[in-house]
Chains A and B, each alone.
Chain A
Amino acid sequence: SQQGEEDPQALSIQEGENATMNCSYKTSINNLQWYRQNSGRGLVHLILIRSNEREKHSGRLRVTLDTSKKSSSLLITASRAADTASYFCATDATGSNYKLTFGKGTLLTVNP
């Protein structure tokens, strides 16, 4: 698998349900970031979690990081139709914190 690989590739849920997306990576990292991209648009920064943090919250978002397993999860609670988008995790490797490596993303569809 490639650095910053998300799964599942696609996720379809009903409004009000929770959505969980996972990200795995290969090398040691400084930070891990999650971004959202609406179809044909730019990326919106959601949250950054540092390598020495295990969990972080922002509104309806909850991110966890397990550096021993080289994995992260993004939980969106009480989903809304407006959450429909692609979600990407991005990692920056130790020693080059400016170079973000993105996976192919998880396409989340929230049905009203």
Chain B
Amino acid sequence: KNQVEQSPQSLIILEGKNCTLQCNYTVSPFSNLRWYKQDTGRGPVSLTIMTFSENTKSNGRYTATLDADTKQSSLHITASQLSDSASYICVVSANSGNTPLVFGKGTRLSVIA
């Protein structure tokens, strides 16, 4: 069964610190992996997208990595800011079917001063 597991479920860090969120998946055949940021009360917004051949992708202070062999991805946030407080959702796309997107349940990040 296609699944996406994220860890931790929630995380609290001090402003200015770095953190790393994890995503493990069992989606096959794999097409691409996205990280979305969802602010409270808003819809998810795409941060990064990586295909099979890419192993790292940056978007400002956000850096995503992908290991297609171990089926793991991480999202690293550098020098966190209060505005980084949000849920981060890992979404894996299969290369077949009409509804190929598989969503993780998200990691809730809280950045405190």
Decide whether A and B assemble into one complex.
no
